[in-house]
Amino acid sequence: MALFKQLLRLHKGNVPLEDFFTEIVAYFLSENRDILFSWLEYSHILESGNYAGANIATQKTYKHPIRGDEKRPDIVIKLSNGESHDLIFIESKVGSSEGYNQLSDYAEILNSLPGYRHKALIYITRDFDPKEEAKILENIPVSPVKFSQLRWHQFYQFLATQTDSEIKQEIIIFMQEHRMAQSNQFTSVDILALANFPSALKLMEAVMWNEVLARFEETLGMKKGREIRKRRALQNIQWRGRYIMVAWMPEKWLCFMGFFMTSSIPLDYPTVRLVLEVDPKSPKRKEIIEEMRKISTQRSWKANNLDEPGSWASVSLDKSLKDFISLDDHVYEIKEFFLNSLEELKEVRQQYPELPWGTVQDNEMEAEEETQDEQMD
């Protein structure tokens, strides 16, 4: 088995794919400065390539110059030619898309940092997610920040031309496994997915939007909203590869359930899940996580990122669709899984009343969902 794939599996889902890959790329570029400089030149990131040194950091924290809230670009590269210095922020997306105003925030932070000759913001994605430079830089009247948009398959093509090494080959294999080597061509898997998506969507709709939705709303005390939740579920397929219904609760935590699709190659089976999750910026994060820890140990829910302060942390009930394949009626059986999971959730609400149960209003929920993209995979 490929090295990075095995390491990612050992983490058992506790490390998001994007964060894992960010650390790999940052380490590789920091250990191979010639490749870093060649890639910057190859990608037309900065005009001058005569660099003598480079410093690379991941998840470095900066404060927004106006609001003061903290932001963390995936990769920060500081370049020097001995006399002057350049600065690059890289935001990487593998299975998600830009968070709310994320790129504009990074551009404004870059603009506020003194002492740099050139500044660049790179948005590199696996999937198609076009951005307008004018909109990203609209709050910077005369901008010294250069915005560049790249795709991971371009990095893959560049990397394939570089001198072979063991770590380079492992990165190439990992990118192939997670569809980052894909060019602008439909694969046989893509065509098969397109052909079967309408029928798959109908099955998911049949599972989720009758008894399951009614029980979900009843269990969480939500207002009824079938059509708006269906629309949001379709949007979530595009954003995050999942088809879910969501309930936002006070203190920036939430409950969601539905279908979660894989983005790896070879494709793993999708899963169905009920999830309780807390925002890293929740004012009650510590207390919520303490209760989540009890839920995971006392009731055997799966724990994710409970010991990672900067990450979305959750507990969940999961089941692979592979477990339903041999059964006669998949819609009925998956419905039963969701309904039983909601009965379990009802017991959790009774057993852990210290948690801030309840739901926020629809307009608050829309604002929360917009900002959630910035930090989730």
pLDDT by residue, tens only, the chain of 377 residues: 477 777 777 665 556 788 889 999 999 999 999 999 999 999 998 765 678 889 999 999 999 999 998 999 999 999 998 888 999 999 999 877 788 789 999 999 999 999 999 999 999 999 888 999 999 999 997 878 999 999 999 999 999 999 999 999 999 999 988 889 876 677 787 788 889 889 999 999 999 999 999 999 999 988 777 777 777 777 777 666 789 999 999 999 999 999 998 655 455 789 999 999 999 889 999 999 999 999 999 998 999 989 887 778 999 999 999 999 999 999 999 999 999 999 999 999 999 999 999 887 544 444 444 444 434 43
Q: Domain for residue 309, yes or no?
A: yes
| Burial class, 301, CB count within 10 angstroms (exposed 0-12 / middle 13-18 / buried 19+) | buried
Structure tokens at 222: 């939500």
Helix, strand, or coil (residue 80): strand
- Please tell me whether residues 158 and 283 are part of one structural domain: no
Model pLDDT, residue 364: 44
Q: Are strands 62-63 and 70-71 parallel, antiparallel or unpaired?
A: antiparallel
Residue 62 sits in the same domain as residue 88: yes
Find out whether 153 and 183 touch, Cβ atoms under 8 Å.
Answer: yes
Spatial distance between the Cα atoms of 297 and 188, rounded to a whole number of angstroms: 43
Query: In 83-125, which ranges are E strands?
Result: 85-93, 118-125
Q: Say how far residue 18 (Cα) sits from the centre of its chain.
A: 7
What is the helix, strand, coil percentage profile of the chain, to 5?
A: 45, 20, 35
**Residue 217 is encoded by which pair of tokens?**
């709303």
Q: What is the pLDDT of residue 251?
A: 93
- Tell me how far apart the alpha carbons of residues 91 and 295 are, in angstroms, rounded to a whole number: 34
Residue 319 three-state SS: strand
CA angle, 288 then 92 then 269, to 5°: 70
Q: Residue 174: which of 156, 186, 193, 154 has the closest Cα?
A: 156
Q: Is residue 182 part of a domain?
A: no
Report the pLDDT value the prediction gives residue 239, as an integer from 0 to 100.
Answer: 60
Answer with the one of 155, 177, 199 that is the final residue of a domain: 177
222 belongs to a structural domain: yes
Pair (141, 200) in one structural domain: no
SS3 279: coil
270 C-beta neighbours (distance < 10 Å), count? 18
Q: Are residues 149 and 264 in the same domain?
A: no
Q: How far apart are CA 60 and CA 25, in angstroms?
A: 15
Contact 248, 364 (CB under 8 A): yes
35 in a structural domain: yes
My answer on whether 199 and 171 are in the same domain is: no
pLDDT at 366: 46
Tell me, yes or no, whether 133 and 203 share the same domain: no
The alpha carbon of residue 283 and the mean position of all alpha carbons in its chain are separated, in whole angstroms, by 22
Q: What is the DSSP string of 15-29?
A: S-HHHHHHHHHHHHH
Residue 376: what pLDDT? 42
Together in a domain, 246 and 206: yes
Residues 90 and 213 both lie in one domain: no
CATH code at 75? 3.40.1350
Distance of CA 221 to the CA centre of its chain: 28
pLDDT of residue 373: 42
Q: Tell me: do 224 and 106 sit in the same domain.
A: no
CA gap 274, 256 in Å, rounded = 6
Give 249's contacts (C-beta < 8 A, 6+ positions apart).
220, 255, 356, 357, 358, 359, 360
Reduced to 3 states (helix: H, G, I; strand: E, B; else coil), residue 222 is coil
| 377 lies in some domain | no
Residue 344 domain-assigned (yes or no): yes
| Domain boundary residue, one of 150, 177, 204 | 177
Instruction: State how far the Cα of 171 lies from the Cα of 180, in Å rounded to an integer.
Output: 10
Determine the structural domain holding residue 347 and report its residue range.
191-372
* Domain C-terminal end among 123, 142, 177: 177
Whether the Cβ atoms of residue 368 and residue 248 lie closer than 8 Å to each other: yes
Tokens, residue 61: 């924290």
Co-location of 105 and 229 in the same domain: no
Report which DSSP code applies to 185: S
pLDDT value at residue 11: 63
**Per-residue pLDDT at 185:** 73
Q: Are residues 140 and 116 in the same domain?
A: yes
Whether 183 is covered by a domain: the verdict is no
Q: Do 173 and 229 lie in a common domain?
A: no
pLDDT recorded at residue 193 = 82
The angle subtended at Cα 301 by Cα 293 and Cα 207, nearest 5°, is 140
Around Cβ 277, how many Cβ atoms within 10 Å?
22
The H or E element containing residue 363 is: helix 362-372
| Residue 184 within a domain | no
Tally of domains within the chain? 2
Contact 230, 224 (CB under 8 A): no
